[in-house]
């Protein structure tokens, strides 16, 4: 099994990504204010089972550069499409958490031939409500005054389950490290991008690939009714609501996430032989 952390020039940015294992491609797309490190419990688990795992940092996140003024969902989407093309991948499984789910739907809009299956976690098809936009606007003001480190200290525990916060403090530290590694301008511009996300509700009806949907029962950022809506509008999809899990359910319940995901891919004939 080969493993590496690589760089690729795509569009106007230098993308950092993991490329681990050989076999059927699975592309992991992280959530807002995080990085490819959030998939630490998935990378090896999938690679040793014969998948080729690719996990990029979105522009402005992790080790990927960014151009001020070019931090939209559209930009994130075009970057991932460009990286998939650069790597010569076809018919992969796209796994998206939160913002990563928005990008997954963007890829479906623009290049659905690249997608053989979708796994979505803690995400939504709806645009931001006025209440959500107001919450993000307050976060932007907080960032301008307090900075990224204080933002990470406040936000990290809220994104994880009570069980994780109480029993796995290293996971909280991981989220803080990912969050505080971003430049404040990149965080602010990404928040603005989230406020302007597409309304993907109608496009759900066109999704005709196997789709698995996860939601953490304690998710306060993207409550499970959003996942239920996706499930009800994507024909043949499967919905899994996880106990002791919140917004970043892949870190709260990594073993369950991995087991259910791989069983789903095996059932759909997408598991390496």
pLDDT tens, residue by residue, 190-234: 999 999 999 999 999 999 999 999 999 999 999 999 999 999 999
Q: Is the pLDDT of residue 3 over 50?
A: no
pLDDT tens, residue by residue, 108-126: 999 999 999 999 999 999 9
Higher pLDDT, 91 or 30: 30
- Mean pLDDT across 67-77: 96
**At 273, is the pLDDT very low, low, confident or very high (cuts 50, 70, 90)?**
low
Helix (H, G, I), strand (E, B) or coil at 5: strand
- Strand duo 13-20 + 51-56: pairing: antiparallel
> Per 3-state DSSP, what percentage of the chain is helix, strand, and coil (rounded to 5)?
50, 20, 35
What tokens does 216 get? 């953490």
Helix (H, G, I), strand (E, B) or coil at 82: helix
- Strand duo 115-121 + 92-97: pairing: parallel
What tokens does 138 get? 């307050």
DSSP 135: H
Cα separation, 216 vs 100, whole angstroms? 16
Element housing 179 (H / E): helix 169-180
**Vertex 61, ends 179 and 26: CA angle to 5°?**
110
Q: What is the pLDDT of residue 4?
A: 56
Higher pLDDT, 273 or 17: 17
Q: What is the pLDDT of residue 1?
A: 40
Helix (H, G, I), strand (E, B) or coil at 169: helix
Q: Is the pLDDT of residue 5 over 90?
A: no
Q: Is the pLDDT of residue 21 over 50?
A: yes
Q: How many other C-beta atoms are found inside a 10 Å radius of the C-beta of residue 138?
A: 10
Tell me the backbone φ, ψ of residue 131, rounded to 5 degrees.
-65, -40
- Mean pLDDT across 142-158: 97
Q: What is the pLDDT of residue 156?
A: 97
pLDDT tens, residue by residue, 244-260: 999 999 999 999 999 99
Q: What is the pLDDT of residue 2?
A: 43
Q: What is the pLDDT of residue 176?
A: 98
What tokens does 18 get? 């993991």
Task: Choose among 130, 8, 190: nearest CA to 81.
Answer: 8
Q: Say if pTM beats, i.e. exceeds, 0.85.
A: yes
Name all domains of the chain by residue range, CATH numbers in brackets. 5-127+199-267 (3.40.50.1820)
Instruction: Please state, in angstroms and as integers, the Cα–Cα distance from residue 138 to each residue in 27, 50, 126, following that order.
Output: 32, 44, 20
Q: What is the pLDDT of residue 271?
A: 85
Q: Is the pLDDT of residue 132 over 50?
A: yes
């Amino acid at each position: 099994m080969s493993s590496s952390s690589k760089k690729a020039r795509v569009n106007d940015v230098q993308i950092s990504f993991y490329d681990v294992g050989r076999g059927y491609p699975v592309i992991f797309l992280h959530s807002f204010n995080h990085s490819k490190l959030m998939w630490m419990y998935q990378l090896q688990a999938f690679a040793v089972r014969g998948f080729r795992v690719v996990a990029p940092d979105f522009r402005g996140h992790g080790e990927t550069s960014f151009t001020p003024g070019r931090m939209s969902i559209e930009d994130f989407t075009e970057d991932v499409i460009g990286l998939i093309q650069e790597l010569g991948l076809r018919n992969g499984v796209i796994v998206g958490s939160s913002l990563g789910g928005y990008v997954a739907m963007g890829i479906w809009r623009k290049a659905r031939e690249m997608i053989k299956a979708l796994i979505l976690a803690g995400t939504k098809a709806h645009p931001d409500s006025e209440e959500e936009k107001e919450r993000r606007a307050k976060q932007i003001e907080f960032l301008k005054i307090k900075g990224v480190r204080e933002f990470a200290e406040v936000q990290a525990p809220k994104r994880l389950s009570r069980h994780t916060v109480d029993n796995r403090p290293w996971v909280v530290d991981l989220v803080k490290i990912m969050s505080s590694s971003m430049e404040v301008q990149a965080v602010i511009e990404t928040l603005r991008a989230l406020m302007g996300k597409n309304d993907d509700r109608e496009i759900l009806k066109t999704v005709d690939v196997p789709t698995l949907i996860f939601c953490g029962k304690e998710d306060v950022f993207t409550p499970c009714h959003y996942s239920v809506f996706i499930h009800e509008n994507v024909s043949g999809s499967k919905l899994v609501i996880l106990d002791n899990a919140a917004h970043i359910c892949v870190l709260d319940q990594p073993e369950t996430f991995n087991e259910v995901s791989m069983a789903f891919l095996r059932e759909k004939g997408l598991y390496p032989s």
